[in-house]
Amino acid sequence: MIFSLDVQKSFVKNIREKERRILMENLLISACLLGIACRYDGKSVKSVDVEALRKKYNLIPVCPEIYGGLPTPRVPSERQGEKTMMKDGTDVTENYLRGAKIAYELCLEFDCKKALLKERSPSCGKGKIYDGSFSGTLTDGNGVTAEYLMARGIEVFGESEIEKLI
Ligand code: SF4
Report the candidate in 154, 91, 164 with the shortest Cα–Cα distance to residue 122.
Answer: 91
Question: Which segment of 35-44, 57-66, 118-127 scores lowest on mean pLDDT?
Answer: 35-44
* Consecutive H or E run containing 53: helix 50-56
Q: Tell whether 97 is covered by a domain.
A: yes
| Spacing, Cα 24 to ligand 1 middle (Å) | 24
Residue 166 has pLDDT above 80, yes or no: yes
CA of 39 to the centre of ligand 1 (A): 6
Please indicate, yes or no, if residue 7 is contained in any of the structural domains: no
Instruction: Give a yes or no: residue 116 inside a domain.
Output: yes
Q: Is the pLDDT of residue 145 over 90?
A: yes
76 within domain boundaries: yes
Does the CB atom of residue 65 touch ligand 1 within 6 A?
yes
- The residue ranking higher by pLDDT, 114 or 2, is 114
Give a yes or no: residue 9 inside a domain. Answer: no
Domain that holds residue 125: 26-164
- Tell me how far apart the alpha carbons of residues 147 and 70 are, in angstroms, rounded to a whole number: 19
Residues facing 83 on adjacent strands: 80
What pTM was estimated for this model as a whole?
A: 0.89
pLDDT band of residue 1 (cuts 50, 70, 90) is low
pLDDT tier at 3, thresholds 50, 70, 90: low
Contact 95 CB / ligand 1 (< 6 Å): no
Q: Would residue 36 count as lying in a domain? A: yes
Q: Is 118 in the pocket of ligand 1 (CB under 6 A)?
A: yes
Position 156 in a domain: yes
| Residue 21 falls inside a structural domain | no
For residue 92, what are the CA distances in angstroms to 4, 7, 95? 59, 54, 5
Query: Domain count of the chain?
Result: 1
